[in-house]
Amino acid sequence: MRLSELMNGNGATPEVDILGLSADSREVKPGYLFAALSGSLEDGADFIDDAIRHGAVAVLAQPEVASRCTQNAVRRDVQVVPDFNPRRRLAQMAARFYPAQPETVVAVTGTNGKTSVVSFARQIWEHLGYRAASLGTAGITGSHLDVRLSHTTPEPIELHRLIDSMATDGVDHLAIEASSHGLDQYRLDGVRVTAAAFTNLTRDHLDYHRNADSYLYAKLRLFGEVMAPGGIAVLNADDPAYLDFEDICWARGHQIVSVGAKGSDLQLVKRAPGDDFQQLAIVWRGTRYAVKLPLIGDFQVSNALVAAALVLSNGADTAQVFDALEHLAGPPGRMELVARRVSGARVFVDYAHTPDALDRLLRALRPFASGELSVIFGCGGDRDIGKRPQMGRIASELADWVIITDDNPRNEEPQNIRRQISAAAPGAIDISDRAQAIRVGVSRLSTGDILVVAGKGHESGQIVHGVFNPFDDAQEVRDAIVELEENIK
C-alpha cells in the first residue's frame, strides 16, 4: 500500500510503498513503516536507527522527533511523517492497511462487566444464526475461534489485523471490550463501531490514569471520538455516571438506549432469584416480557440486558433475542460455578479485583447462600494501592469469613500487600500460598455454604517477582475438593 493511501492523501509521497507497520523496531522488515511512539518505560525515538537498519522506509513520529530525523544523514532517505498525535494516526493507518471489518461492530466500556457483555452479545447473535465473535480479556471467542490475547484491547496494529482476519474469515458480528487503557492510547480509533455500551464506572486503574476525571474521560472517548456521530449508545441508567455519558451522546447525535431499573427503553421491572437462575420481568419499549435467565447475581442481569439492548438496537427480532437470554452461559471466571462439595456447598470463581466489583459479587451471592458466605482474595502488585484497604473492609463487612492471599504480587513484596488489605479486615485469615488458601477455604464448607475465590477469574497464572507461574483458580478448587472428598471416604 502506498504511504499516501495510509495517510488518506494527506501530503505523503505517493511513490513510497509500505509493506507493513510496526511500533517495535525488532519486528520491522524491509518496506515497513516504523511508529516511534513514546511509552512509559521507553521512547520509540531511541529506536529509529535500529528500525531503519531493519529496513524501515518511513517513520511516524512527533514533529520534534521528525525534524531531527530529516537532519540526520542516516535517515535522509526515509520518508518522515510528523504528527502531533502519532498514536491516533497509527491506529488510522492500521485501519487502512487492514481494511476489512465485520458488518456490525459493537464496543463495550465500563469498569466492570465488559467481558460478560461482549460474551452475551456474541451468544445472542449466534443464537440468531450469525457468525459472531467477541474480543477482550478472555481473548477472541466464537463458535470457531479461541485465541488468547495479552491485552484486553490489543495494540492498534494487532487489533486491526485481527479484525481484518475475522471479517475475511466470515465473521459478520463482533463485540469488543474497550478498556480505558485502549481508549486512552487510541487503539480503537479506526474501528467502525456501529453501537457502543457503557456498563458502570467505579474506582480502577488509578495507577495509570492521573485521577478519576482522567479515567472517566478515557471511557467517554468511546462515545465522543471513536464512534462516529449518529451511532447507537446503550447506557446503564442505574449507574451514577449515566448523565455524563448521556450528555456527550446527545452532543454527538447518538441514539440513546437506556437500560436498567431506571431505564426508559429496556427496563428491569422485577427480579426473583431461583437456585441457579433468575426470573425476570422486563419491558422493551412498552411491551412486557418474562425471561428465565440461567445466571445468578444482579450485576449479571444488568450485563445481560445491556447485551440484549445492543443486539436489539441493531435491528434483531425481539422474541428471538429474549429467547436467547434463556440460553446464556457466563464466560469463564465470571461468577463461574466451578465445583460443589458432596454436602451441596458451592464454590465460585470470579474476576472481581476492584472494590465495587467485590461489593457487587458478595451482595449478589448472599441471597443464594442458606449457610455461610466466604471469600478468598488478594490484590495485585504494582497497581493502585488505595483500593487494598477498601477491598479488605468490603470483604470483612459482607462475608462471614475471609481469607486474604496472594493475587499477582508482580514486583512487590506479597506480605506488604496482604498487610495493607488486612489492616481493614479484622479477623481475616492470612495465607500467602494461594493453593493452600483454597484448600483451607474448601475444607471449611458445610451444607448451604458458598465460597467465592475472587480476583483472578479466568487467568491461568500468577506473577511473582516478575516470574509467571501456572495457576488456575478453578482447577485448584476442583483438585482440593477431590482430595478432601477422597480423604473423607
**Domain final residue pick, 86, 109, 130:** 86
Q: Are residues 8 and 136 in the same domain?
A: no
| Beta pairing class for 287-293 and 278-284 | antiparallel
Residue 459 one-letter amino acid: E
Mean pLDDT value across residues 250-255: 97
Q: Fill in the amino acid letter for 463.
A: I
Q: Which pLDDT band, with edges at 50, 70 and 90, does 40 fall under?
A: low
Supply the mean pLDDT for the chain.
91
Tell whether the torsion through CA atoms of 83, 86, 91 and 93 is positive or negative.
Answer: positive
Residue whose C-alpha cell reads 460474551 in the numeric block: 119
Residue 135 has pLDDT above 90, yes or no: yes
Least confident range from 127-136, 201-210, 465-474: namely 201-210
Other Cβ atoms within 10 Å of 298 Cβ, number = 17
Residues 292 and 414 in one domain: no
* Cα dihedral value 72, 74, 79, 82, nearest 10: -30
Q: Kindly state whether residues 161 and 298 are assigned to the same domain.
A: yes
Q: Is the pLDDT of residue 115 over 70?
A: yes
CB of 201 within 8 A of CB of 219?
yes
* pLDDT given at position 48: 92
Same domain, 217 and 344: no
| 273 assigned to some structural domain | yes
Question: What is the CATH classification number for the domain harbouring 37?
Answer: 3.40.1390.10
Q: At residue 206, what is the residue type?
A: L
Domain match, 394 and 279 both: no
Average confidence (pLDDT) over 5-28: 83
Strands ordered across the beta sheet of 20-22: 20-22, 32-35, 58-61, 79-82
Boundary (domain end) residue, out of 304, 325, 346 = 325
Arithmetic mean of pLDDT, 26-35: 95
42 plus 167 within the same structural domain: no
Instruction: Judge if 22 and 60 occupy the same domain.
Output: yes
Question: How far is Cα of residue 110 from the mean position of the Cα atoms in its chain?
Answer: 8
Q: Which residues, in sequence order, are bridge partners of residue 282?
A: 268, 289
CATH of the domain at 317: 3.40.1190.10
Reply yes or no on whether the pLDDT at 209 is more than 80: no
**If we measure between CA atoms, which residue out of 404, 89, 113, 168 comes closest to residue 80?**
89
SS (H, E, C) the chain: CEHHHHCCCCCCCCCCECCEEECCHHHCCCCEEEECCECCCCEHHHHHHHHHHCCCCEEEECHHHHHHHHHCHHHCCCEEEECCCHHHHHHHHHHHHCCCCCCEEEEEECCCCHHHHHHHHHHHHHHCCCCEEEEECCEEEECCEEECCCCCCCCHHHHHHHHHHHHHCCCCEEEEECCHHHHHCCCCCCCCCCEEEECCCCCCCCCCCCCHHHHHHHHHHHHHHHCCCCCEEEEECCCCCHHHHHHHHHHHCCEEEEEECCCCCEEEEEEEECCCCEEEEEEECCEEEEEEECCCCHHHHHHHHHHHHHHHHCCCCHHHHHHHHCCCCCCCCCCEEEEECCCCCEEEEECCCCHHHHHHHHHHHHHHCCCCEEEEECCCCCCCCCHHHHHHHHHHHHCCEEEECCCCCECCCHHHHHHHHHCCCCCCEECCCHHHHHHHHHHCCCCCCEEEEECCCCCCEEEECCEEEECCHHHHHHHHHHHHHHHHC
Residue 330 lies in a domain: no
Residue 92 domain-assigned?
no
Closest CA to 239 of 311, 284, 163, 305: 305
pLDDT bracket for residue 147 (50, 70, 90): confident
Lowest mean pLDDT among 6-20, 187-201, 217-231, 407-421: 6-20
- Which of 64-73, 194-203, 393-402 shows the lowest per-residue confidence on average (mean pLDDT)? 64-73
* pTM (predicted TM-score): 0.84
- The answer to the question of residue 225 being in a domain is yes
Give the chain's domain count. Answer: 3
Domain co-membership, 36 together with 145: no
CATH of the domain at 360: 3.90.190.20
Query: Does residue 331 belong to any structural domain of this protein?
Result: no
Domain end residue (candidates: 66, 86, 106) = 86
- Domain identity same for 110 and 233: yes
State residue 73's pLDDT score. 47
Question: Is 223 found in the same domain as 183?
Answer: yes
Is position 286 within any domain?
yes
Same domain, 123 and 225: yes
| 16 plus 102 within the same structural domain | no
Please give the residue range of the domain that contains residue 80: 3-86
Angstrom distance (rounded) from CA 219 to CA 212: 11
- What pLDDT is stored for residue 70 in this prediction? 63
Pairing of strands 104-109, 79-82: unpaired
In a domain, 314, yes or no: yes
Cell numbers that stand for 313 in this block: 438496537
305: Cβ contacts below 8 Å, ≥ 6 apart: 259, 260, 263, 266, 268, 282
pLDDT score for 475? 96
The alpha carbon of residue 385 and the mean position of all alpha carbons in its chain are separated, in whole angstroms, by: 21
- Residues written for the chain: 489
Measured in whole angstroms, the distance separating CA 149 from the mean position of its chain's CA atoms is: 11
* Closest alpha carbon to 270 in 298, 235, 239, 306: 298
On whether residue 91 sits in a domain, the answer given is no
